Structure 1
Amino acid sequence: MTPRTRTDVVIRTYGTGQVPPLLDTIADIWADAHPELVNNPGASTDGLSVAALRRQVVGHLRHEGFTLVAAYTHGTMVGFGYAFPCTPEYWYGRDLLADIPEHVRAGRLMGLCELAVSPSWQSQGIGSRRHAE
């Protein structure tokens, strides 16, 4: 099945200082998009909980170039994703770094950390548009 592409979706980009007021909204979207984690008590011990997501986002706000991209329809946020420029050492870690080809390690790297779309808005091209943005 080919995903439908919505034309009534507005994409907005936010920098570090603009994200804290959005934390509740993105946490709700993430929870809705990941019910298998939210409803699994073991997930929280693995760091896969709403509280862990909040800590992760707040921790990543310190990275210069942090960008959150949000999708809105009818004034309501229905999806988000965020990323930040980082070094190969940071992204891959010391244990994997030796296995990463040199041309990848030498290039620019943007760490894409989360992409989530509310279930009722999935398969409509929203995630693809945010990723491209």
Structure 2
Amino acid sequence: MTTPSTRADVVIRVYGPGQVPPLIDADLVDKVPEGARTERLMGLCELAVRPPWQGRGLGAWLHSALLRAINPRWSSLLALPDNKRGQGLYARLGYRYAGPYRNTSDGPEFDLLLLEVRPESAG
């Protein structure tokens, strides 16, 4: 499922169950906390704010609104290792590095980031 925003300056994309490839790296599975594998998990695939609107807290606000609406116990996302600005935002939001992730054995490498959602982090 893809859900675009009606606003021209913000894009939100959410994917439904079964659309995210499974972990193919056994070593990475061992690094993922059991709760992230067994409890309610939100896979955040894409949340973007257009450049003229960046730096105003909109990304953090949208992230918080998604957490409140979906009410997961965990959230995961894939980030490009060299995306320093995005990595900084994810760290401020509480995401922690779990390990390298590839969608396919010969695909590009991403950082798998995980967030254990607590009630205060969704508000």
- With normalisation by structure 1, the TM-score equals 0.37
- With normalisation by structure 2, the TM-score equals 0.40
Q: As a proportion of its length, which structure holds more helix?
A: 1
Higher RCO (CA 8 Å, separation ≥ 6 residues): 1
Larger radius of gyration: 1
